[in-house]
Amino acid sequence: MNRAHALQGISWPDFDRLEIGERAPYFQRDGRQYHALISQQFDRAFLDRMCELATRTRKIAKTRGGMLFLQGLLAEKRAMLYFAQPSTRTFLSFLSACQILGLQSGEVRDSKTSSEVKGESPEDTVRIFSSYYDLIIMRYPEGGFGDRIAWLLSNTDRPVPVINAGSGKDQHPTQALLDIYTLQRSFEAIGGIEGKKIAFVGDLARGRTVRSLAYLLTRYPGVKLYFVAPEQLQIGEDILASLDEYGVSYEVTDTLTPILPEMDAVYMTRIQDEWDTAGESRSIGIDEYIIDADRLQHMKETAVILHPLPRRNEIAVEVDSDPRAMYWRQVRNGMWIRAALILHIFERDAEVDRYFDDLMR
Ligand code: NCD
């Protein structure tokens, strides 16, 4: 069957020249999301749909019959997990999502074990994956590589969808989906994400999760964002420019103490010193960018604390048992929202809706 891939209509040089936001429509097939590479692809309707589908899937999975139904949905498909950078949660949550939906999976987690050491280009390596697998889930140290692969594969006779599981310092769109899902569930009883005050704390210069999530929050009217970091680790101007474009209000500050009592959500991050060239992060004071028992006392009762994990000492272990700590739930939410995304890409979501409606009847 010939399906219309938007990326088939454009040459690589023309596509490569596009701004990030302009690329979004090219990741579709027949008007539906096909590759999932950048947050800019996801509008509000899509986010609401992914949250709904994730919740339906998790409810169906509660019974043995439901789980067997889910495991049949994509039993004819195989997924390649290509993780050229370290990962625990993202890898395992995608693997679990595949297992829930019955996809078989293969993995390359270390480029040293692939033919790249024989001089094969990364492009050829991924193209080989597409000969064996029907979906490529990919974490890669360089931003933009996924876009290149998506273009390349869409222009072969075996196009397969590509999901970005973290690209350089640039984007982590499925982490942003699970963060949105967690915020939405956390604020369900208090009016949803709209109008909430959300602080991002820590290494905002190199944290790709913050960049992808800040972008998705432009989809929620009335939110106000606070970027709390030492000057050297502040959020990129490109993200602030996007917020300006969407009329989202924000503050950029280096102190958490004065704003903390007003915050509805605090999104903590670790210092990403693996990107240092000469250990420069070591000289940056980070004591202001932590949450501990003392700080908890200054937070709203209804506030929530998120963290993409892994953490170091920016959230004290004593915070873990506080009901406002949402980071463990984020981990589990990630599995369900990634299952939802895979269902959407393979167009099996309507079957989940039908099963769910029968269940509720
Ligand atoms: C994050 C990442 O890889 O960007 N981890 C994750 O996927 N949950 C954050 C980090 O590494 O600090």
Q: What is the pLDDT of residue 1?
A: 44
pTM score above 0.85: yes
Integer Cα distance of 190 and 196 in angstroms? 10
Residues with CB under 6 A from ligand 1: 89-90, 166, 172, 175, 208-209, 270, 272, 308-310
Q: Are 60 and 66 in contact (CB under 8 A)?
A: yes
What is the number of the ligand 1 atom nearest to the C-alpha of 203? 12
Pocket test for ligand 1, best of 271, 309, 312, 326 (most atoms within 8 A of CB): 309
Residues 6+ apart with CB under 8 A from 222: 194, 195, 196
- Helix 173-186 / helix 327-345 crossing angle, nearest 10 deg: 120
Question: What would the two tokens of residue 145 be?
Answer: 């590589």
For 340-352, the pLDDT digits (tens) are: 999 999 999 999 9
Integer Cα distance of 129 and 203 in angstroms? 34
Residue identifier of the C-alpha nearest atom 6 of ligand 1: 308
Catalytic residues: 89-90, 118, 139, 172
For 284-310, the pLDDT digits (tens) are: 988 999 999 999 999 999 999 999 999
Residue linked to tokens 């599981």: 165
How many other CB atoms are found less than 10 A from the CB of residue 283? Answer: 7
Q: Is the pLDDT of residue 324 over 50?
A: yes
Integer Cα distance of 153 and 221 in angstroms? 36
Q: What is the pLDDT of residue 113?
A: 78
What is the number of the ligand 1 atom nearest to the C-alpha of 207? 4
C-alpha dihedral sign at 71, 74, 75, 81: negative
The single-letter DSSP state of residue 325 is B
DSSP bridge partners of 36: 163
For 231-278, the pLDDT digits (tens) are: 999 999 999 999 999 999 999 999 999 999 999 999 999 999 999 999
How many other CB atoms are found less than 10 A from the CB of residue 92? Answer: 14
Average pLDDT, the chain: 96
Q: What is the pLDDT of residue 179?
A: 98
What is the number of the ligand 1 atom nearest to the C-alpha of 269? 12
| 167, 181, 184, 250 from 199: Cα distances, Å | 23, 17, 16, 9
